[in-house]
Structure formats: structure tokens, C-alpha cells
Structure 1
Amino acid sequence: MNDAVARETMIDTQVRPNDVTDRRIHAALQNVPREVFLPKSRHSLAYAEFEHETSQGRYMWRARDFAKLVEAAKIQADDEVLDVASGSGYSAAILAKLAAAVVGVETDEALAEAASARLDSLDIDNADVVAGDISKGLASQGPFDVIFVNGSVEVIPQEWKDQLKQNGRLAVIVREGKLSQARIYTRSGDSFACRSVFDAAPPALPGFEKAESFVF
């Protein structure tokens, strides 16, 4: 099976059956080669239905979970998007097919540079990945219409919410005990409405755990 057929099969068996109906997302998944964003040793497994570790603490999600959260974020063609913890750059590449501009932020400078190089190799010129503290977002380039977080967290930094435009959406997987849910936070003035959209359990994003409490 060649890669184009594998992408189509992934969409038909993992994405469409899980209520992802936005054809723009289908087209983005079809046109962005997942294998480019994985180590060579993982290329043959690029379209299998599980998470792939791309570097320490960074993963390419299962297509089902990723596509469902992207659809829930309701990204529009004129949106500016912040991609938190971009990893190898795959999420930024997909988001760039849907939005006007995407900027990814990664903790490690070498990781950010490598992700940007992959985007360049695919002629994706409306997305870039820069180095920075992912917990702080990227205030210098905000505010954003959408902030997309690659990994599940227990704690949501206030900085992420503060960098949303009015009616902006924060798309994130939140862990609470044994439960893990995809949520969309929408800004209205200084308030944030929240809705849970589906259950999912992608790997945790390191550094966003709740502080342990001590019982005496």
C-alpha cells in the first residue's frame, strides 16, 4: 500500500467513522504525509491507529483523537492559531491547511528548528515553529483565534486563556483523576465558557501536572 492510499484508508477507517465530518480536515489529512514527521524507523507505521513518540515527551496522536479535537476547535480560514508543543510539526502542518496563519511553540530550540524545516520542505509557508516556554504561550504574537494543545494536561496555564481573542477557542485535553476529556474553552470578555466534547487519553504533556497535596 502506498502512502497516499494509506492516508485515504486512515481517513476512511479512523476519522470518518468517529464523526469527523469536516471535509477540509479530511483534505488536510490526505495532503500532509505523516511519515515526514516521524523518525525513519516509524515510517511504515505512520498510519497505524496508535500514538507515535516523535521525541521525548512529544507524540503524534492517533488520527481519531487529533481530528476530533481539530474539528471541535472550529478553525476558520481567516483564523490565527497558536500550536502549543508542536513536536515534530505535524499538528502545525494540518492546522496550516485550515487557518490563515499558524505559529507553533516548542521548548527545545533544535526541535523547533527541525519542525520548521519539515514545514518548509512541504512548502507550507503560513506556519512556523519557534522556541519558547510552552506554559507561557506566545504573547508577542497573540492574541489568537485558536490555541491548540498537543497533549493532555491537568493544569491549564492562565496565560493560554489570556492570549485568546474575543470568541477565541482553547482546544485541550484535560485530565482529572482517571477521567480525560477533550474540552473547548471559549472567551467572552474576561470569562471563559467550557464544553466537553469527547473522551480521549493522548499522552500527557510533561510539566502540567497538579501539585501534590499532603495530608497530615
Structure 2
Amino acid sequence: MNRYLIISFFFLGFLCGQNGEARAQDMNYKELRYKMVKEQIAARGIKERAVIKAMQKVERHLFVPSQFRHLAYSDSPLPIGFGQTISQPYIVGIMTQLLDINSKSRVLEIGTGSGYQAAILGELCKEVYSIEIVEGLALKAKTTIESLNYDNLHLKWGDGYIGWEEHAPYDAIIVTCSPSKIPQALIDQLDENGRLVIPIGEKNVKSLVLLKKIDGELVRKDVIPVRFVPMIDERGKEY
């Protein structure tokens, strides 16, 4: 056999092997993702079908650093750099369900982080506006989101404490970092009958809170105790 033909077959086999390994890895991630949704999400009371489907679809492993990808579908938060974390899958699920959004909703997210929560929201609603205070994280999330071709996700680097007034009012607002009190700007930018989901509290004592805006007033419901990174300003000072 011609030696060039032999070499060609060798490289073809090598490439096929690589592709096969990639497909096997992708299938493994898919199986892990579906298992995560079944055991960590649905089994804990997240019943909204649209939320379930979104979490089955969005590939969480793409939003974590490569050294942690084998843990991407575990029942825990994971570090994403800059002292920040990607939330535990259950927390993403319950916060998303509490928003009660649909395909016509416009949502503001405070704390883009890795971009995973934004991608989940992007599967569910019309427009998502997301703000991240840490520039390095904002840039990484933007790169990841753009690679996944979401055209309804709008990300920016900035201070989430003051919201994003340009696109207000919002049908729902989700905050993925914890201030000591609810920012007034977010209350002002929430539309009538809108929902705000936010972890608030002092130091390590946090409560995940659902606030509904009814006749201009907020009706509060404490949902579960949680742990979140603090909300910070551009100098790193906690709000």
C-alpha cells in the first residue's frame, strides 16, 4: 500500500477516534445533566415544565473552568474565578421558578457571574439584561454567551446596585449576589405586578426572598435560607 495512503488512513482513524471520544464525552455530560435535573431539581419540588426543559438543555459544564468540568453537574456551587461561584443547580432552579416568567417577559439579572443563570433565563423569556461588577467575569461570560448564539441576552460590565434603568421597567428581576438591604433602584425598575427574587441579610445569615410589586408596594415572602457572595461596588466594598 502506498505510504501516503497509509498515513492518510492513520490520521483519519485518529480524527475519528477523537470525534468518537468527544461524542462519548458529550453524551456523558447529557446523561449527567438529565440526572442532575431529575435528582436535584425535580425531586426537590421544581415542577415548572419550562424550567425543567431549560435546565436539561443548557450545558452547565460550558460555564465552569475546565478543571471543574467533571463536577459541573454535582449538587454544589463551584468556583469560577475572581472569588466568585456558580450557584448550586437547585438554587438556580428555584430562583428561576419563583420569577414566574414566560416567552413575553423582560428580565433583569444582577450578577452575571459565569452566564449560566442568564442562559437559563434566555431559554424562557423574550429579553434578558444582565450586569456584572467584576470586569474579568463579565468578559468571560460575554465570550461564552456569544459562542452559544443567544441573541436575546444583553450583558454589560457595571454596578448592579443601580440596576439598568435604560431598559426598565422589567417584568422580573433576579439578584444572584447578596446586599444587606434591597436596592431602591431595583424596586423602582420593577414593573407593576413584577417579581423580584433576591438573597438578603447580614453576613452569613441570608434569606432567599420573593417580592411582588402590587399597587406600587412590595409584598414579601421568605422562601429558604441561602448562602451567597456579597453584592459589591466597583471598589470591592460590600453593599
- The answer to whether the superposition gives a TM-score over 0.5 is yes
1:162 maps to 188
Shift of 1:151: 2.4
Q: In 2, Cα distance between the equivalents of 1:151 and 1:64? A: 16
Structure 1 93/154 Cα, relative in aligned 2: closer, same or farther at 3 Å?
same
* RMSD over equivalenced CA pairs, Å: 2.0
Specify which structure has the higher proportion of strand. Answer: 1
Structure 1: unaligned runs, 5 residues or longer: 212-216
- Aligned residue type for 1:86: T
- Aligned residue type for 2:211: Y
Query: Equivalent residues in 2 for 1:171-210 (5 A)?
Result: 171-176=197-202, 179-197=205-223, 199-207=224-232
The C-alpha deviation readout for 1:183-206, integer Å capped at 9, x for no partner, is 111112331111122x13232224
State whether residues 89 and 115 of structure 1, in contact with CA within 8 Å, keep that contact through their aligned partners in structure 2: yes
Number of residue equivalences: 210
1:103 maps to 129
Structure 2: unaligned runs, 5 residues or longer: 1-26
Percent identity (aligned): 28
Q: With a CA cutoff of 8 Å and minimum separation of 6, indicate the structure with the bigger relative contact order.
A: 1
Q: In 2, Cα distance between the equivalents of 1:56 and 1:85? A: 13
1:76 maps to 102
Q: In 2, Cα distance between the equivalents of 1:100 and 1:177? A: 35
Q: Which shows bigger deviation, 116-125 or 88-97?
A: 116-125
Matched, 1:142 2:168: yes
Q: In 2, Cα distance between the equivalents of 1:41 and 1:200? A: 29
Structure 1 115/178 Cα, relative in aligned 2: closer, same or farther at 3 Å?
closer
- Determine which of 153, 156, 166 is the counterpart of 1:130: 156
State whether residues 46 and 93 of structure 2, in contact with CA within 8 Å, keep that contact through their aligned partners in structure 1: yes
1:214 maps to none
Secondary structure of the corresponding residue to residue 177 of structure 2: strand
Structure 1 108/180 Cα, relative in aligned 2: closer, same or farther at 3 Å?
closer
2:142 maps to 116
Secondary structure of the corresponding residue to residue 2 of structure 1: helix
State whether residues 80 and 102 of structure 1, in contact with CA within 8 Å, keep that contact through their aligned partners in structure 2: yes
Q: Which runs of 4+ in 1 moved over 4 A?
A: 176-179, 208-211
Secondary structure of the corresponding residue to residue 153 of structure 1: coil
Which structure has the larger Rg? 2
State whether residues 150 and 205 of structure 1, in contact with CA within 8 Å, keep that contact through their aligned partners in structure 2: no
2:7 maps to none
